[in-house]
Amino acid sequence: MGQNKIALISGITGQDGSYLADILLEKGYNVVGIARRVSADRGWRIEHLRANSNFILEAGDITDSGSITRLVKKYKPDEFYNLAAQSFVRASWDEPYHTSLVTGLGVLVCLEAIRNESPSTKFYQASSSEMFGRVQETPQKETTRFYPRSPYGCAKVFGFEITRNYRESYGIHASNGILFNHEGPRRGLEFVTRKITDGAARIKLGLADTLALGNLESKRDWGHAKDYMEAAYLMLQQDEPDDYVVATGEAHSIRDLLDASFGRLGLNWQEYVTQNPEFMRPAEVDILLGDSSKARRVLGWEPKYSFKDLIEEMVEHDFARLWRPSTDCKTLERAWQDVSVIEV
């Protein structure tokens, strides 16, 4: 694969994997993406990468130690970014065993492969603000005690701790990025941010009449996935491994998200949004707000996208995606009345 650095990315077909691949390829890396065969069939986020000669897609599964060990042995990567997970928090209540296996024990599979086949490989573990759960202090930082409130959060705590343990026990350059909520146009439709931006666009275009949501009061620290993947890259460029909170330092409620999304389209969300108990979590996390001062100080990292920038990009993407060329000009003009036009 030439003299370029080699990066292995698990979860390549996800939002974060595709954005990270873009970043690394631009920096001259050879990128090897790992995807389960079923995920590879859903790889719309990486279609644009397939023509890049520095990108390779490999079949693998972090619940299968043999496949991960084979890939680490084959490529001896300079860097291994573990982004694979069952990452939908609500679904972790329905699939607690599967979530624990993938999101928790899958991290151990990656670390064991590195320990046995390529000890010099630098490892990044995608940890989560959901580990804080019922928060013990606000804002949350690297020293804040974990109190997870879902099977997903519990699995992420295991992944965090086993990563730190292998760093301290075996000297592996292994870092945890405790990433707060991060979004973008490549976010899955099952996540509330994308559900809202997609729903707002559908309503504006007359494709839907209402949008059903759960808790409107919960608050999150939302940033752009592009910014957060840049932070992940920076962690593995440090001489010493460590753990970092990555967050914007601003909390917004679901209501704020609705204001920004529907407002971009000139709509009042209160006329369209309903609440459905089915979308409530068994144990709610009320507020997550991160203190990323360490990442800013040590990594020199700063988010480039504001909350407004993020949501408007997502809304515009979904509007453009849903608009059909057969729509007559007057209908499209009405849809964008009092709203600046985007290219579609």
**HSE-up (13 A, CA, CB side) for residue 140:** 27
Q: Residue 19, SS3? A: helix
Least confident residue range of 42-51, 146-155, 221-230? 42-51
Q: pLDDT band for position 24 (50/70/90)?
A: very high
Q: Please give the pLDDT value at position 169.
A: 98
CATH of 1-344, one of 3.40.50.720, 3.40.190.10, 3.30.230.10, 2.40.50.140: 3.40.50.720
pLDDT at 284 over 70: no
> In the chain, pLDDT over 90 holds for what percent of residues?
80
Assign 280 a pLDDT band (cuts: 50, 70, 90). low
**CB count, 10 Å around CB of 174?**
30
pLDDT averaged over every residue in the chain: 90
The pLDDT-based confidence of 91 (bands split at 50, 70, 90) is confident
236: CB partners within 8 A, 6+ apart: 79, 81, 122, 123, 124, 173, 175
> What is the pLDDT at residue 92?
85
CA 183 centroid distance within chain? 6
Q: What is the pTM of this model?
A: 0.89
Percent of the chain with pLDDT over 70: 90
- pLDDT level of residue 325 (50, 70, 90 thresholds): very low
Task: Average the pLDDT over 259-280 and give the result.
Answer: 89
Q: Which of 109-113, 182-186, 325-329 has the lowest mean pLDDT?
A: 325-329
Q: Is the dihedral of CA 89, 93, 94, 95 positive or negative?
A: positive
- Distance of CA 278 to CAs 90, 130, 152, 216, Å? 10, 20, 18, 13
Cβ contact 177:124 at 8 Å: yes
Positions marked active-site: 128, 130, 152
